[in-house]
């Protein structure tokens, strides 16, 4: 084994001690590096944007709104001129599902919308005044991952 092989083995051994497991190879680092390179390459790409924030639902709030279970997210005030504002989404609406798929965690909302292409028609199912409501929104565009 040449000096490069010994150096690589030494680096792998040090890294294995640092991370706390053996069997690590340089190939394991490639997906992470490639992911960073892909993110850098796509930083100017545009993703779906709706223009409204959310806060998590709690059991107490769900019960006070007449909901049987605490799922979904409470919508904040839509940004002026945003797709949410154009669709007449209101602050305090409870978002229960997106395109028929239940929204279990509020923290998933932004990622779900961002994965969709701009100009996609999205159906938001909300709860307002103790009544279910469907809202059609045409997504705008915003930077991916930010």
Q: What is the pTM of this model?
A: 0.66
pLDDT band at 2 (very low <50, low <70, confident <90, very high): low
R_g over Cα of the chain: 22
The two three-digit tokens of residue 137, written as one number = 């929104």
Summarised one tens digit per residue, pLDDT across range 104-119 is: 889 999 999 999 999 9
Chain centroid, CA 106 distance in Å = 9
Summarised one tens digit per residue, pLDDT across range 122-135 is: 999 999 998 999 99
Summarised one tens digit per residue, pLDDT across range 30-59 is: 444 444 445 555 556 789 999 999 999 999
User: Considering the domain 46-143 in this protein, what is its CATH number?
Assistant: 2.30.42.10
The two three-digit tokens of residue 92, written as one number = 């305090």
Phi-psi region of 129 (alpha: psi -120 to 50; beta: other; left: phi over 0): left
The two three-digit tokens of residue 27, written as one number = 């190939």
29 pLDDT above the threshold of 80: no
């Amino acid at each position: 084994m040449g000096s490069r092989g010994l150096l690589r083995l030494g680096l792998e051994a040090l890294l294995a001690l640092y991370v706390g497991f053996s069997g690590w190879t340089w190939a394991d680092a490639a997906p992470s590096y490639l992911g960073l390179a892909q993110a850098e390459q796509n930083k100017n790409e545009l993703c779906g944007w709706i223009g409204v924030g959310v806060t998590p639902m709690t059991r107490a709030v769900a019960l006070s709104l007449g909901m049987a279970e605490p799922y979904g997210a409470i919508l904040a005030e839509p940004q002026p001129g945003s797709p949410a504002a154009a669709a007449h989404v209101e602050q305090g609406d409870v978002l229960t599902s997106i395109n028929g798929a239940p929204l279990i965690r509020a923290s998933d909302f932004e990622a779900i919308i961002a994965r969709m292409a701009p100009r996609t028609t999205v159906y938001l199912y909300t709860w307002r005044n103790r009544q279910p409501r469907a809202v059609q929104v045409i997504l705008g565009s915003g930077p991916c991952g930010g």
